[in-house]
């Protein structure tokens, strides 16, 4: 038995990401480059597969420990998938391959149709059909179906495993939890017979392992309003950033259509530091829609950052010239930043 259809697709994903990083291109999602060559992990799992179960368990523990201490890197899901297949855990192998694809998707470096193609290919394999079906339900946002399918895959899983995270996210998104209860689980025998508060506490408890996963913060933001800024910072152009910008806008009392103009503090700092490093005032243009918004914490943060930058004649003159071409709030903000030099 083999899961090569999913595994090979995940390998192609890793190679594409590696090729991009080697060519010097920065990720559109703003994800940090790997701290060490991730293909080493994949090659070790592919070509130097452990010969006994103890070695396999040891290798899997090493991968899990690395995720917790240093975060997930391209190739780690691929390595885990190969190890689990070697151990005969075919459902786990599919989930690990899905993890590889899902991280790339969340970072904005892989399309949803590619992820779906890998999972749909696995549906034809009897041994992994249920796992692929649960992963596909999760990816498509069919939360009740996903939670019920993932529940049957949790036996023997670590409390912070990827399957456990998917399960908890599905429970929270399902809207079927017992929100009025302070403690859980409750009697009843259903996966939804648990309090929302208890599930959210379990979700928060595994934060360390998934701090670099945009989707972790996205689901947290959807159900609690927290984590939206972190989601955007991880992958500004990823599939979850737009919705999280809306959550940030609403939290500031702004209209939903202001979301596209909103920039996080980290994005503001990157724009300002990038402009200063390159001596290019034109790089500040991306902040102008933010300056035109009604008062909010992010616009005020940008005002402070640009005010400091305007001490340089290069930037002050550029901002003053742009202010003379502007009107309304943007003109007022640029006048403030340049000290009335318009």
- C-alpha dist (Å) from residue 31 to 103, 116, 231, 270: 11, 22, 11, 13
Q: Which of 55-69, 78-92, 189-203, 214-228 has the highest mean pLDDT?
A: 214-228
Q: What's the predicted TM-score (pTM) here?
A: 0.85
Cα gap 174→155, rounded to integer Å: 21
User: Average per-residue pLDDT in the chain?
Assistant: 85
For 257-276, give the DSSP string.
GGGGG---HHHHHHHHHHHH
Greater pLDDT, 253 or 9 = 253
Mean pLDDT, rounded, for 105-132: 90
State the number of CA atoms in the 13 A half-sphere of 296 facing the CB.
24
Mean pLDDT, rounded, for 12-31: 44
The reported pLDDT for the residue numbered 182 is 44
Write the pLDDT tens digit of every residue in 37-89. Answer: 444 554 455 455 556 788 888 899 999 999 999 999 988 998 999 899 888 99
**Chain Cα centroid distance, residue 96:** 16
Write the pLDDT tens digit of every residue in 6-18. Answer: 555 555 554 444 4
- Which helix (DSSP H) or strand (DSSP E) does residue 81 occupy? helix 76-86
Q: Could you tell me what percentage of the chain is helix, strand and coil, using 3-state DSSP and rounding each to the nearest 5?
A: 70, 0, 30
Buried b (16+ CB within 10 A) or exposed e, 232-249: bbbbbebbbbebbbbbbb
The pLDDT of residue 188 is above 50: no
The pLDDT of residue 234 is above 80: yes
> How sure is the predictor about 208, in pLDDT bands with cuts at 50, 70 and 90?
very high
On whether the CB atoms of residues 126 and 132 are closer than 8 A, the answer is no
């Amino acid at each position: 038995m083999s899961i090569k259809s999913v595994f090979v697709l995940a390998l192609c994903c890793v190679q594409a990401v590696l090729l991009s990083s080697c060519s010097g291109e920065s990720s559109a999602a703003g994800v940090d480059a790997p701290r060490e060559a991730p293909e080493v992990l994949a090659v070790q799992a592919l070509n130097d597969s452990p010969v006994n179960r103890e070695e396999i368990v040891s290798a899997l523990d090493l991968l899990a420990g690395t995720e917790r201490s240093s975060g997930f890197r391209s190739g780690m899901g691929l390595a885990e998938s190969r190890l689990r297949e070697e151990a005969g855990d075919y459902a786990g192998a599919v989930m690990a391959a899905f993890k590889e694809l899902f991280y790339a998707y969340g970072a904005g470096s892989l399309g949803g149709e590619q992820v779906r193609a890998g999972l749909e290919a696995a549906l034809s394999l009897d041994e992994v059909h249920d796992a692929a079906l649960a992963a596909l339900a999760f990816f498509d946002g069919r939360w009740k179906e996903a939670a019920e399918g993932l529940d049957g895959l949790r036996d023997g899983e670590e409390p912070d495993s990827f399957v456990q995270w998917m399960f908890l996210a599905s429970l929270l998104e399902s809207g079927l939890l017992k929100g009025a209860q302070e403690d859980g689980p409750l009697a009843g025998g259903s996966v939804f017979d648990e309090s929302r508060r208890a599930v959210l506490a379990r979700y928060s408890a595994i934060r360390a392992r998934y701090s670099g996963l945009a989707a972790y913060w996205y689901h947290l933001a959807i159900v609690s309003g927290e984590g939206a800024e972190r989601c955007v910072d991880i992958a500004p152009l990823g599939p979850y950033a737009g919705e999280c910008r809306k959550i940030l806008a609403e939290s500031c009392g702004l209209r939903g259509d202001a979301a596209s103009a909103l920039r996080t503090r980290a994005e503001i700092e990157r724009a300002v530091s990038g402009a200063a490093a390159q001596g290019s005032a034109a790089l500040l243009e991306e902040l102008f829609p933010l300056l035109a918004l009604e008062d909010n914490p992010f616009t005020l943060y940008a005002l402070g950052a640009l005010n400091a930058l305007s001490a340089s004649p290069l930037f002050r003159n550029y901002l003053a010239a742009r202010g003379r071409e502007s009107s309304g709030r943007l003109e007022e903000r640029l006048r403030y930043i340049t000290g009335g030099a318009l």
